[in-house]
Structure 1
Amino acid sequence: MEKKRSKPSWALLKYFGASSATGQDEPTTSTATQAFSGMVSTLHDEPTTSPATHMSPQISDIEDEDLFTTGQLQFNVILIFLIIYDYFGVLQKLYTLFSASTQRWAILKNHVSITLKMWAETRWESKVKSVEPMRYQGAAVRDALIEVRDHTKDPAIKAEAQSLSEEVGSYRFSICTVVWYDMLSAIQHASKLMQSPNMHVDLAVSLLKKTERDLQSYRATGFVTAQMAAKEICEDMNVEAVLKQKRLRSTKRHFSYESHDEPFSDALRKLGVEFFNVVVDAATSAIKERFSTLENVGKKFGVLTNFPSLADVELTDQCEALATTLHFKGHSDLDSKELVQEIKNFPDLPSKTMSLLELITFMDDKDLSEIYPNFWTALRIALTLPVTVAQAERSFSKLKLIKSYLRSTMSQDRLTGLAVISINHLIGEQIAYDDIIDDFASRKARKVRF
């Protein structure tokens, strides 16, 4: 008989995208660990022939190796899953309660100006939008829940509204709201900038470093500021800003040498350790791990921007390293010796600190591409390296959006056709579909006219 799999672990692994690494529908703990370790070793053993970048500016893509070690996987996976489900499960219940009835939705609209949003997996921005109403209009949402409770005649809806109003009005929920909104807002801004058409490697590296520093700074002071903001939210709700201490559950010891875990005597300290530190550390680790390759690529192409401050020996070494990086099967896109001479003889720049895009624009304006061919080629390669992918924001992939909608009843030809129409929507708006539909109906009609 097949061993029953851990549902919380599987749900989190699916949410974090680890199912694609296992090749199974519901990975177990051991298979996820083996697959992750094998993938890491394979990537390290594979010889690098080109500067490949691993990009996906999402906090949800947490692939920290510490989280996937054999001894800590089960605990960390379940802990983070419970943290995420505990908060966003409440947000989903709020949206479901109000959106299931036009009357309840009208009550919500009378109280709030920012409506509740559903957390869609295909849209990164929805993560922030789902938290925003609770961050700035939590008191209004709670008033709407109380009005629904007082006016509904359905006992189930009345009990659900009462339960949600108590949860939304708690000090703990307010702290979680502030923390999640601050975290997701910081990541969202970096995500949008990473998807900009003008984004390139050197700017992406500096942006990610700044995001990492911001997260580290937020870990030091964010929990205190979150408490202050949560107290203001509680004052608007006219509720007491106090964390309730839960009763400690006694656990059975299987061996005499086992000792009881030291419990947290302070509920606020427990929330900081088990919620705030875990979430911030996971986000910081995700950024470090996911963009380490991008930073290494940025260092290899760094000679193209910092050459004015390099000594001759260091300039030669970095040019040779760049030429080796772009070497494949005995052929290199650059000649390191000529690149060194071109950089040394390059005319004075209007500014000592210029980005890759500014450099190539300067060369294009001065018609220097034929005079410095290796430098020109290196700049073009650096600027055409992708810093993000369409999978980072699934809404940018029309094909994936269509795949997510009634895929089981859709043929491949229809799927491809809808994708083409969606991409070329400007042309599609000019097509007269009435004649096409009439022609299709006449050919496919099952009734025969006598």
Structure 2
Amino acid sequence: MSVIIRIVRMDDDEAPEIKEHFLGFLVASQTTGLGLSSLILNRLEELNIPFDDCRGQSYDNGANMKGKNKGVQARLLEKNPRALFVPCGAHTLNLVVADAAKGSTDAVIYFGNIQKLYNLFSVAPQRWAILKDHVTLTLKSWSETRWESRINSIEAVRYQAPNIREALLEVRDKATDALTKVEAQALAEEVGSYRFHICTVVWYDILHQVNHISKLLQSATMQLDVAVDLLMKAKTSLTRYRDTGFSAAQASAKDISDEMNVEAVLKEKRLRGTRKHFAYEAPDEPIRDAMKRLEIAFFNVVVDTTFESLKERFESLGEMRSRFGVLLNFKELDGEALSNQCDELCSTLSTEDEKDIDEKELALEISNLPSLPSSDMTTLQLLSYIHKKQLKELYPSLWIALRIACTLTVASAERSFSKLKLIKTYLRSSMGQNRLSGLAIISINHEIGKQLSYDDVINDFAIKKARRQKF
């Protein structure tokens, strides 16, 4: 398990800055909500970090993490009701794409063919050399867990389909094994088919947009309000793509087919091939047109499932943004609405004994804010503006609320596991847990690591390892 804390660093001379600090990898011997929550609390206690100061928690979408009754977030909320749970945006977006792919049998078959392409060439150096002779961008294996990263495996097919088909035909001609000849021939026919081109264009368009948003959500400086705005734009873009995407994909697929110079073959086999792979029969009104079947059974299913999953999975993220919405939309509120939203925010950040901010003071501070340089500032920009103008003493409640809002989003846990793959290789298979976690901390927090004195570290190491005792 990767543990990361997220703070807003405050320096008198510099602007407020969102910082994330990696605390190490922990061995999770028990994956229950009780076991994982105890592991987190023990780690914070070891580092003398009081959990009562926590105002947010973010995890992936496992039931043991986000469970409402016995999950980690529920158990930690019992200890600190102000540790608000915000689901991991990057991981949630990854599950959105996974839902879309699993919703259509045709999509599952398509990704299976993509993997078969990679396996055919990568299994032997001679075949890989043939592929590299024909393409500039090589094939890549898609990830089983990071769905949006599958754009890397589709990109080569999207822009080099004719070259890949020629490489497959060369493998077929040079292969001595009958099974290899059959597999290469079958994949060459598949890559040259019109339906395959349509699926490639559709998936590339969807994954290209999702991958861009996913990278932004994994940014260490990402804020809750910005994340929600990005997801709203993604929903709007999907709505537009639903109306014009399939016709545009057909046009792009036709260009690819024309490049392969197989128009005659497509005219003869297009409907037969499409019926074979994308058969769809409505119970009341059978659809006879092959392209219409492809649009209904593949395109509509993938886009609609993506849209609905995006809407459902990010509902809690939008709800959390609405609680802190008064920090962004206060210019649009009248006196009563401003007071009500300040009350809601203050109750969110309060317990029976303590509260972070006072609702009346917050409403008064917001109503007395000076003219801002922009009408659509983010929470971090507004915080930086107050710091720059040296107004934090005049707006203490707003100052605290903005700092809390800046920490309520996903941490960089997704990136820490990418670093783990680079450190824990087959050459270091016998590495112990303490050394692994220590190297990861140094590598991820490299900015702090550069400030360490090598001489002090060497001296401490020498003293601990010295065998000769001084009397």
**Superposition TM-score, scaled by structure 1 size:** 0.74
Task: Find 1:57's aligned residue among 82, 90, 95.
Answer: 90
The answer as to whether partners of 1:399 and 1:419 remain within 8 angstroms in 2 is yes
Supply the AA of the counterpart residue of 2:190. E
Measured at CA, do residues 218 and 404 of structure 1 come closer, stay the same or move farther in structure 2, by a change above 3 Å? Answer: farther
Q: Which residue of 1 aligns with 2:271?
A: 243
Q: Which residue of 1 aligns with 2:55?
A: none
Measured at CA, do residues 219 and 157 of structure 1 come closer, stay the same or move farther in structure 2, by a change above 3 Å? Answer: same
Measured at CA, do residues 330 and 204 of structure 1 come closer, stay the same or move farther in structure 2, by a change above 3 Å? Answer: same
Q: Which residue of 1 aligns with 2:352?
A: 329
Q: Which residue of 2 aligns with 1:186?
A: 209
Structure 1 SS opposite 2:85: coil
Structure 2 residues not aligned, in runs of 5+: 1-30, 34-62, 455-471
The answer as to whether partners of 2:106 and 2:278 remain within 8 angstroms in 1 is no
Q: Which residue of 2 aligns with 1:197?
A: 220
Query: 1:227-266: CA deviations, max 9, x gaps?
Result: 111111111112234332537999xxxxxxxx96754322
Supply the AA of the counterpart residue of 2:149. S
Deviation at 1:313, TM superposition (A): 0.9
Structure 1 SS opposite 2:113: helix
Measured at CA, do residues 89 and 402 of structure 1 come closer, stay the same or move farther in structure 2, by a change above 3 Å? Answer: farther
Measured at CA, do residues 223 and 404 of structure 1 come closer, stay the same or move farther in structure 2, by a change above 3 Å? Answer: farther
What RMSD, in angstroms, separates the aligned Cα atoms of the two structures? 3.8
Measured at CA, do residues 365 and 60 of structure 1 come closer, stay the same or move farther in structure 2, by a change above 3 Å? Answer: closer
Q: Which residue of 1 aligns with 2:433?
A: 412
Q: Which residue of 2 aligns with 1:225?
A: 248
Partners of 1:399 and 1:159 lie apart in 2 by 40
Deviation at 1:52, TM superposition (A): 2.3
Measured at CA, do residues 306 and 417 of structure 1 come closer, stay the same or move farther in structure 2, by a change above 3 Å? Answer: closer
Partners of 1:425 and 1:313 lie apart in 2 by 49
The answer as to whether partners of 1:172 and 1:243 remain within 8 angstroms in 2 is no
The answer as to whether partners of 1:300 and 1:321 remain within 8 angstroms in 2 is yes
Task: Find 1:169's aligned residue among 151, 167, 192.
Answer: 192
Structure 1 SS opposite 2:275: coil
Partners of 1:216 and 1:249 lie apart in 2 by 24
The answer as to whether partners of 1:50 and 1:327 remain within 8 angstroms in 2 is no
Deviation at 1:98, TM superposition (A): 1.2
Q: Which residue of 2 aligns with 1:133?
A: 156
Partners of 1:124 and 1:404 lie apart in 2 by 23
The answer as to whether partners of 1:55 and 1:294 remain within 8 angstroms in 2 is no
Structure 2 SS opposite 1:368: coil
Q: Which residue of 2 aligns with 1:362?
A: 385
Partners of 1:343 and 1:380 lie apart in 2 by 15
Partners of 1:368 and 1:266 lie apart in 2 by 67
Supply the AA of the counterpart residue of 1:61. L
More divergent stretch after superposition (356-365 vs 114-123): 114-123
Supply the AA of the counterpart residue of 1:317. N
Measured at CA, do residues 260 and 312 of structure 1 come closer, stay the same or move farther in structure 2, by a change above 3 Å? Answer: closer
Structure 2 SS opposite 1:293: helix
Percent identical across equivalent pairs?
48
1:301 aligns with 2:314: no
Partners of 1:79 and 1:310 lie apart in 2 by 42
Measured at CA, do residues 205 and 421 of structure 1 come closer, stay the same or move farther in structure 2, by a change above 3 Å? Answer: closer
Structure 1 SS opposite 2:219: coil
Structure 2 SS opposite 1:126: helix
Q: Which residue of 2 aligns with 1:156?
A: 179
Deviation at 1:353, TM superposition (A): 2.9
Equivalent positions of 1:47-446 (< 5 A) are 49-57=82-90, 59-62=93-96, 80=104, 82-121=105-144, 123=146, 126-240=149-263, 241=266, 242-244=270-272, 245-246=274-275, 262-386=285-409, 388-390=410-412, 393=414, 396-399=417-420, 411-413=432-434, 415-417=436-438, 419-420=440-441, 422-423=443-444
**How many equivalent pairs are there?**
380
Partners of 1:300 and 1:230 lie apart in 2 by 46
Deviation at 1:394, TM superposition (A): 5.3
Structure 2 SS opposite 1:349: coil
Partners of 1:418 and 1:410 lie apart in 2 by 10
The answer as to whether partners of 2:218 and 2:415 remain within 8 angstroms in 1 is no
Supply the AA of the counterpart residue of 2:218. Q
**Superposition TM-score, scaled by structure 2 size:** 0.71
Measured at CA, do residues 56 and 132 of structure 1 come closer, stay the same or move farther in structure 2, by a change above 3 Å? Answer: same
Partners of 1:230 and 1:295 lie apart in 2 by 37
